[in-house]
Amino acid sequence: GCPWNYINDKTDSGRRRIKGHRVEMLLLLKSFVVLAKIVIRHGGIVCFEWPAHNTYWNLPDVQDMINSLQLTDVRFDGCFFNLKSVRSDRSHMYIKKPWRIYTNCDGIIRALENCVCPGVDANHIHESCRGDNAKNSERYTVEFAKHIHRTIMTVMDRGWVLGGETA
């Protein structure tokens, strides 16, 4: 679903690889939906994440999943969570990397909805998200993981359920 696939689509091997990725994604999506329905039925939290500009978001099967699970989206930027360049000469530079999560948890939406790039200035300069930086951006930063875990713990401690109601 990478927007760069328009380049990979220009060769036979690229087209085969893209097709294989899509087939695998659709199989994983079907399994996710089965499990997500069980989790939701038992009052649990469901999250589904990809980069914000992933072309898979527009696929009918993905839209059906979002609608059938009644998920809401939230977008945020990797640079907010200290996503930085892996290049040694640019390790001070941030990678903006827009992310998107669909979830059934209002607490997660509230915790992420304002986590966007604070703006470029002398202390916050962006590096391109390509090559090694793109590969590294597939991993969550420690800051992001801690933020999500704190949020889930808060949601659980307060007894929140779907729709922001309290138990």
State the pTM of this model: 0.85
Count the alpha carbons within 13 Å of 136 in the hemisphere toward its beta carbon. Answer: 21
Instruction: Check pLDDT > 90 for residue 124.
Output: yes
Which residues have C-beta within 8 Å of that of residue 136, sequence separation ≥ 6?
86, 95
Per residue in 18-45, pLDDT (tens digit) is 788 889 999 999 999 999 999 999 989 9
- As a residue count, the chain comes to 167
